[in-house]
Amino acid sequence: MAEARELEELQERVILLGVSLQDDRETRESLEELEELAKTAGAVTVGMEIQNREAPHPGTYIGKGKIQEVKEKILETDATGVICDDELSPAQMRNLEQELECKVMDRTLLILDIFASRAATSEGKIQVELAQLQYRLSRLAGLGKSLSRLGGGIGTRGPGEKKLEMDRRLIKNRIAQLRRELQEVKRHRELIRERRKKNAVPVAAIVGYTNAGKSTLLNRLTQAGVLEEDKLFATLDPTTRGLKLEGGQEILFTDTVGFIRKLPHHLVEAFQSTLEEARYADLILHVVDVSNPQMEKQMAVVYDTLRRLEVTGKKVITLFNKQDKLEAPVRIRDRQADYTLNISARTGEGLEELKDLLEEILTENQILIERLYDYGQAGKIQLIRKFGQLLEEEYREEGIYVKAYVPREIYGNV
């Protein structure tokens, strides 16, 4: 019991700060999401403060009057720090820390911290450390207490924490080394993609807002065994798994890191090789949490992020997930998608329709053949079985009659 009390005492208590430029409601929604991020990072929110301004204060993010209010709230709630809903400049972070006399964090630092705690593979750790170092490099002069190793808590976790005392030269050297390692990862990914292309196996990238149910969908379709949690950024490292459809056609599904509003540009750059999976996929499965009140805004964030990644010219299937959480089905449209389906990845509702739709789309890019093969050409039929859709197969005296759909990529080989 004493141990539980000690853990409770160590838990960070934070006040969330936001600046509303136009829409106070949107700012509040963003702060509610920030509260979820803080919870994921292990902190408890003890207050929220919004200031209406034409622009964030260039020196302290919020104005003097609001700073005084926040100082009083820190004393009232026994808060250990504040988290701002935007990325702060080094000067803003340093000045606000001095004014409030407590730990100051911003949204970017919080997301980086969550990524650091979630990264499991060597690739994920490299990407997170690179993003952390890029963020910290510009803030070396003014980090102060907020990122001190001795302070512990949010912002000090992960592979990047031991770099805090390095000077700029050493950090730049480390960044260069990490970029070289990521180039190797990128080359490795490109080789895998080339192999897939050569084998003519279509790829569907699963994208969506964080916590929309992407991992649950992948697990349900392919028994991938990926971690499922009702938390933001439960999984970071991409997983690719195959599924054989009813007609015999094989398709690969690749899960990607979840998107979020104000996704830090450091992360987009560091996770470029992972996020590129969507760019090189044949299809995009856009998973949407239909039970979330901010669903439409989350969809807009996903499409904006896809545009930033230059993911264009792909067929998009939008899957309105978590139908099991609704009291009654709701008819929703997505004008940017080619197809829409209502599903529940958890219960399996709509997934058979999804498989049928995938088969229909894949068939569009295939050629119907009717051929008679010599018995010595049975290897070609194996190729059709693996990458095409075998409709009829009949063993005759003169050879093997085959009627099948085959991908254009392997048409010349069969």
Neighbours of 190 (CB within 10 A): 13
Cβ atoms of 286 and 302 within 8 Å: the answer is yes
CA distance 223 to 195: 23
The answer to whether 323 is annotated as binding is yes
The answer to whether 195 is annotated as binding is no
The answer to whether 209 is annotated as binding is yes
The answer to whether 163 is annotated as binding is no
The answer to whether 253 is annotated as binding is no
The answer to whether 321 is annotated as binding is yes
Neighbours of 297 (CB within 10 A): 15
The answer to whether 17 is annotated as binding is no
The answer to whether 47 is annotated as binding is no
Neighbours of 138 (CB within 10 A): 12
The answer to whether 255 is annotated as binding is yes
The answer to whether 282 is annotated as binding is no
The answer to whether 210 is annotated as binding is yes
The answer to whether 141 is annotated as binding is no
The answer to whether 91 is annotated as binding is no
Helices then strands (H, E): number in the chain? 13, 13
The answer to whether 257 is annotated as binding is yes
CA neighbor of 386 nearest in space, from 198, 215, 221, 222: 198
CA distance 63 to 354: 52
The answer to whether 287 is annotated as binding is no
The answer to whether 222 is annotated as binding is no
The answer to whether 341 is annotated as binding is no
C-alpha distance from residue 167 to each of 62, 105, 110, 127, 364 (Å): 30, 21, 23, 21, 57
Q: How far is CA 348 from the centre of its chain?
A: 22
The answer to whether 324 is annotated as binding is yes
The answer to whether 215 is annotated as binding is yes
The answer to whether 344 is annotated as binding is yes
Residue numbers belonging to the annotated binding site for Mg(2+): 215, 235
Residue numbers belonging to the annotated binding site: 208-215, 233-237, 255-258, 321-324, 344-346
Residue numbers belonging to the annotated binding site for GTP: 208-215, 233-237, 255-258, 321-324, 344-346
